């Protein structure tokens, strides 16, 4: 190689090391720099043989230093590696891993979203004597090598929409999808659609996308990652990270920083270490299936060997997924398994599996995908249920299934037939009476055999009906205290000012009136003050007669996050509940429903492993019993960051569960109450076809502070208000607090699929 080129490569390696370790490994980096400087000084005077030797020496030194630093990599170093402009990007992968590709949807910055790259690519190989060409759809965030317009791989909602569109194209064409996740997070903008809205759509569709999906994680930043990350096989680069939030974000929350303040590097480092973001952590927790080993200090475009490994891995993963659902596999499945045990014994490229799936295989694929996610994250919550309870909860679903089968499947049809028959008979009988009995009676009356009913008696009855008390069973006085449960704030003797007082001229309201009779609604302008979750439980969801279930599934601290144990205990003590998700079975008027709610007083209604599990169990219960399923979101601040990926993984997990429920013909209705943000809204809540909001709610992806911080845009006031969400098409209606119950009942009667027990 030309020595100038080799020098340039070494220079790049040095800057790379400096960039990543500069701040904390000063001596090592300086030493290396000094040695390299010396070498450069001597370089012009060297003769050929010395030059060859010296080059080898200095390259060995670099390799040694890199290996040494590799052993000391902290999670934050990995974050820096992943974000470095020299990191391989999707373009590099397309050029080197796939054999032929066409980018779809633009060129460079002339693209609906340059940070989302889509390509139709081929993998061509020779098996035996035959050349095989296998098309795949490659989808992923493109960071580029530092180009500004790529936005660092932070995809906008329309970028995610584009990704979804081409996933569906792949489904139509019946080819596998390879997604490459490399995003620090989604661009948190509320547009048409909003970020959360689009990610939820992606997850909802990917849950039942009928082609194999292989995801490769390089930078997995929370919601943005999930938008393309729900896959049958999830691989991960060894130097990548997959996290609930960027370490800086976690530090900002941890340090309770205001906008504009920066967290100290130590705190960021600490947070990164605690969040369990590395490939090893995620493999151990079961959130990825396999690690793809990178060269020391991470893959850069010139690591050509790495592309080979990557190609082998994705081909292998696709083969595995396909063959696991195919009926015709025989020896190839064995061979695939075999290869895994003794690495390198057989080249996967020589095993050919047709990636085309039959209809039945597609069904099996979806089932497997569901099971795969269903089994995740069970270690991350505490199952406080007794042995007996667990046995019971294992057996119960069987009972529900049998019961549903009998009463809604088997018995319903004959009963319906019988009823139809009776109805017809009655109609016949009526006709006979009219045609036969009446003329006879008329004749008899004329013959004065039977006396006609005196008309005065009819008049008397009419008069009676018009003047006596109707429905005396209701009692004469129909005014009562309309709310069963009243906020403790209604006990304080004070006047409360409405925030709209200046614009709407609202008078101050007396707290006992406002928080009891008015249900926290300003009588002048209709402003909704937030109410406690108990208010809804008792006044809307009939909590007195409800049966709560799985109350003993308990949140814990799966990552050993510092100080979190204490906070969790405080939350448990304060609310008397063991997680922020409360699930119960209740009746609304006369319809039995399953309700899952996220309550704000417990850690801001954040979702972790326990909450996810409870939510899924509730959805399954509703599905088996053919009940409507209502998600009442009193408030949620997002995914619980202290649980790391254990929390994020609930996004695909719960979405899969509700998708299953919806596909089974149920009614999944979401009701937002106060502030509902981030992960849950961007997945299992935001994907519901029936989402409604109480007027007090704010709905969105990221709070105003985060938006200002990450995008630099000025956040207009009322950006997240329910009306905005309505005009974005995220929700389907806004309800006043006083009429929730009425509207809910109306919704139960008019919405939802075919498989509800009362239909």
Partner 1 sequence: MRIMKACAQLGHDFICLCTDVDRECGHVDMARELGGDSCVYTISNYLDANEIFSVADHAQATAIHPGYGFFAEDFRFARRTMSRDRSMIFIGPSWWVIRELGDKINTKRIARSLGVPTIPGSDRPVYNELEAENIARNLFDFQAAQGIRDGMVLVKASAGGGGMGIEEVQDLDQFRSVFRRIRNYAKRNFNDEGVLIEQRIFDFNHLEVQVVSERGGRKHVHFGTRNCSVQSTGKQKRIEVAPGFAPGDLPYAFDAAKVLEDITHHSLTMAREVGYDNVGTWEWIVTPKGEPFLMEVNTRIQVENGVSAVISRVGGEFGVNIIKEQVRLGLGGELSYDQEDISFDGVGIEYRIIAENPDDRFSPCSGAITRFGWQEEDWLELSTQIPRNRVYEIPMEYDPNLALAIVWGESLEQAKERGIRFLDSVVLEGESGGSAAEFRTNIAYLRDRTANLLEF
Q: What's the min distance (Å) between Cβ of 535 and partner 1? A: 20
Give CA–CA dist 358/153, Å, rounded. 35
Query: How is residue 147 annotated by DSSP?
Result: -
Q: Would you say 347 or 492 has its CB closer to partner 1? A: 492
Q: What's the min distance (Å) between Cβ of 643 and partner 1? A: 42
Put the strands of the sheet holding 733-735 in their side by side order.
547-548, 581-588, 591-598, 629-633, 668-672, 690-694, 733-735
Q: What's the min distance (Å) between Cβ of 737 and partner 1? A: 12
Q: Would you say 2 or 465 has its CB closer to partner 1? A: 465
Q: What's the min distance (Å) between Cβ of 469 and partner 1? A: 4
Give CA–CA dist 382/380, Å, rounded. 7
Q: Would you say 506 or 600 has its CB closer to partner 1? A: 506
Q: What's the min distance (Å) between Cβ of 568 and partner 1? A: 38
- Residues 442-481 touching partner 1, rule: CB under 8 A, are 459, 462-463, 465-472, 474, 476-479
Q: Would you say 305 or 474 has its CB closer to partner 1? A: 474
Identify which of 640, 540, 556 has the alpha carbon closest to the alpha carbon of residue 597: 540
Give CA–CA dist 439/174, Å, rounded. 72
Q: Would you say 106 or 738 has its CB closer to partner 1? A: 738
In terms of DSSP H, where are the helices of 468-512?
501-504, 511-512
Residues near 7 by Cβ (< 8 Å), separated by ≥ 6? 40, 43
CA 275 remoteness from chain centre: 19
Q: Would you say 33 or 512 has its CB closer to partner 1? A: 512
Q: What's the min distance (Å) between Cβ of 510 and partner 1? A: 5
Q: What's the min distance (Å) between Cβ of 423 and partner 1? A: 19
Of 173, 367, 569, 739, the one binding partner 1 by CB under 8 A: 739
Q: Would you say 39 or 510 has its CB closer to partner 1? A: 510
Give CA–CA dist 435/112, Å, rounded. 74
Residues near 597 by Cβ (< 8 Å), separated by ≥ 6? 533, 536, 537, 581, 582, 583, 631, 632, 633, 634
Q: What is the 3-state secondary structure (H, E, C) of 620-655?
A: HHHHHHCCCEEEEECCECCECHHHCHHHHCHHHHHH
Q: Would you say 28 or 523 has its CB closer to partner 1? A: 523
Give CA–CA dist 317/5, Å, rounded. 36
CA 137 remoteness from chain centre: 23
Give CA–CA dist 540/538, Å, rounded. 6
Q: Tokens 């009940």 correspond to what residue?
A: 627
Q: What's the min distance (Å) between Cβ of 468 and partner 1? A: 6
Q: What's the min distance (Å) between Cβ of 632 and partner 1? A: 22
Q: Would you say 28 or 500 has its CB closer to partner 1? A: 500
Residues near 333 by Cβ (< 8 Å), separated by ≥ 6? 323, 324
Q: Would you say 328 or 458 has its CB closer to partner 1? A: 458
Q: Would you say 354 or 494 has its CB closer to partner 1? A: 494
Q: What's the min distance (Å) between Cβ of 750 and partner 1? A: 15
Give CA–CA dist 619/748, Å, rounded. 16
Whole-angstrom CA distances from 271 to 278, 478, 482, 636, 677 are 13, 59, 49, 22, 22
Q: What's the min distance (Å) between Cβ of 253 and partner 1? A: 39
Residues near 676 by Cβ (< 8 Å), separated by ≥ 6? 633, 635, 636, 685, 697, 698, 699, 700
Binding footprint of partner 1, residue count (CB under 8 A): 26
Q: Would you say 401 or 524 has its CB closer to partner 1? A: 524
Q: What's the min distance (Å) between Cβ of 425 and partner 1? A: 23
Residues near 483 by Cβ (< 8 Å), separated by ≥ 6? 516, 517, 519, 535, 538, 539
Q: What's the min distance (Å) between Cβ of 494 and partner 1? A: 9
In terms of DSSP H, where are the helices of 384-454?
387-404, 412-432, 438-446
Does 590 bind partner 1 (CB under 8 A)? Our answer is no
Residues near 560 by Cβ (< 8 Å), separated by ≥ 6? 274
Identify which of 232, 214, 221, 217 has the alpha carbon closest to the alpha carbon of residue 199: 221
- Residues 490-529 touching partner 1, rule: CB under 8 A, are 493, 495, 507-508, 510, 512-513, 517
Q: Would you say 306 or 529 has its CB closer to partner 1? A: 529
Q: Binding residues for partner 1, per CB under 8 A?
A: 459, 462-463, 465-472, 474, 476-479, 493, 495, 507-508, 510, 512-513, 517, 736, 739
């Amino acid at each position: 190689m030309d020595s100038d080129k080799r020098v340039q490569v070494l220079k790049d390696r040095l800057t790379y090391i400096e960039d990543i370790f500069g701040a904390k490994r000063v001596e090592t980096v300086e030493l290396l720099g000094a040695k390299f400087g010396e070498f450069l000084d001597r370089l012009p005077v060297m003769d050929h043989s010395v030059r060859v030797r010296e080059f080898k020496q200095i390259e060995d030194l670099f390799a040694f230093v890199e290996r040494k630093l590799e052993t000391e990599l902290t999670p934050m170093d990995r974050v820096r590696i992943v974000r470095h402009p020299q990191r391989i990007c999707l373009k590099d992968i397309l050029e080197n891993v796939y054999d032929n590709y066409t980018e779809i949807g633009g060129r460079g910055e002339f693209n609906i979203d340059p940070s989302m790259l889509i390509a139709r690519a081929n993998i061509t190989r020779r098996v035996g004597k035959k050349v095989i060409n296998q098309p795949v759809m490659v989808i992923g965030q493109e960071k580029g090598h530092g180009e500004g317009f790529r936005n660092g791989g932070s995809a906008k909602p329309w970028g995610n929409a584009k990704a979804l569109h081409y996933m569906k194209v792949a489904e139509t064409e019946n080819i596998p999808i390879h997604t490459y996740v490399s995003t620090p997070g989604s661009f948190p903008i509320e547009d048409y659609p909003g970020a959360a809205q689009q990610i939820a759509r992606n997850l909802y569709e990917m849950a039942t996308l009928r082609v194999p999906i292989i995801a490769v994680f390089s930078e997995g930043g929370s919601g943005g990652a999930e938008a393309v990350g729900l896959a049958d096989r999830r691989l991960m680069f060894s130097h990548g990270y997959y996290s609930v939030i960027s370490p800086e974000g976690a530090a900002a929350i941890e340090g309770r920083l205001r906008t504009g303040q920066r967290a100290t590097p130590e705190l960021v480092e600490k947070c990164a270490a605690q969040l369990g973001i590395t490939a090893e952590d995620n493999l151990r927790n079961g959130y990825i299936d396999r690690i793809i080993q990178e060269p020391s200090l991470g893959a850069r475009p010139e690591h050509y060997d790495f592309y080979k490994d990557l190609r082998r891995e994705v081909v292998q993963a696709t083969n595995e997924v396909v063959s696991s659902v195919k009926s015709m596999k025989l020896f190839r499945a064995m061979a695939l398994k075999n290869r895994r045990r003794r690495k390198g014994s057989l080249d996967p490229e020589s095993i050919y599996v047709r990636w085309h799936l039959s209809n039945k295989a597609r069904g099996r694929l979806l089932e497997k995908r569901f099971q795969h996610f269903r089994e995740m994250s069970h270690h991350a919550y505490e199952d406080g249920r007794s042995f007996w309870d667990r046995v019971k909860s294992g057996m119960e679903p069987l009972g529900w299934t049998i019961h549903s089968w009998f009463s809604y499947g088997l018995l319903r049809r004959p009963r319906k037939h019988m009823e139809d028959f009776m109805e017809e008979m009655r109609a016949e009988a009526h006709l006979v009476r009219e045609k036969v009995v009446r003329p006879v009676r008329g004749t008899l009356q004329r013959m004065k055999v039977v006396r006609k009913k005196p008309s005065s008696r009819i008049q008397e009855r009419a008069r009676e009906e018009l003047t006596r008390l109707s429905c005396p069973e209701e009692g004469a006085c129909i005014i009562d205290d309309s709310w069963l449960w009243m906020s403790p704030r209604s006990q304080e003797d004070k006047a409360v000012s409405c925030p709209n007082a200046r614009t709407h001229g609202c008078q101050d309201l007396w707290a006992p009136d406002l928080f009891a009779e008015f249900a926290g609604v300003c009588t002048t302008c209709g402003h909704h003050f937030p109410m406690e979750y108990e208010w809804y439980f008792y006044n809307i969801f009939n909590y007195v007669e409800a049966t709560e279930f799985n109350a003993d599934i308990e949140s814990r601290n799966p990552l050993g996050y510092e100080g979190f144990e204490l906070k969790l205990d405080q939350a448990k003590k304060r609310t008397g509940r063991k997680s922020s998700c409360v699930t119960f079975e209740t009746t609304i008027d006369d319809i039995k429903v399953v309700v899952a709610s996220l309550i704000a007083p417990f850690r801001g209604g954040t979702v972790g492993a326990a909450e996810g599990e409870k939510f899924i169990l509730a959805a399954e219960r509703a599905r088996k019993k053919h009940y409507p399923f209502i998600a009442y979101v009193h408030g949620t601040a997002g995914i619980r960051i202290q649980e790391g990926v254990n929390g994020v993984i609930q996004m695909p997990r719960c979405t899969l569960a509700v998708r299953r429920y919806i596909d089974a013909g149920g009614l999944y209705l979401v009701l937002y109450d106060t502030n509902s943000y981030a992960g849950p809204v961007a997945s299992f809540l935001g994907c519901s076809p029936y989402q409604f909001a109480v007027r007090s709610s704010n709905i969105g992806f990221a709070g105003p502070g985060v938006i200002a911080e990450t995008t630099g845009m000025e956040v207009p006031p009322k950006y997240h208000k329910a009306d905005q969400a309505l005009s974005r098409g995220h929700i389907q209606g806004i309800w006043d607090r006083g009429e929730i119950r009425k509207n809910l009942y109306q919704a139960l009667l008019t919405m939802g699929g075919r498989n509800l027990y009362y239909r």
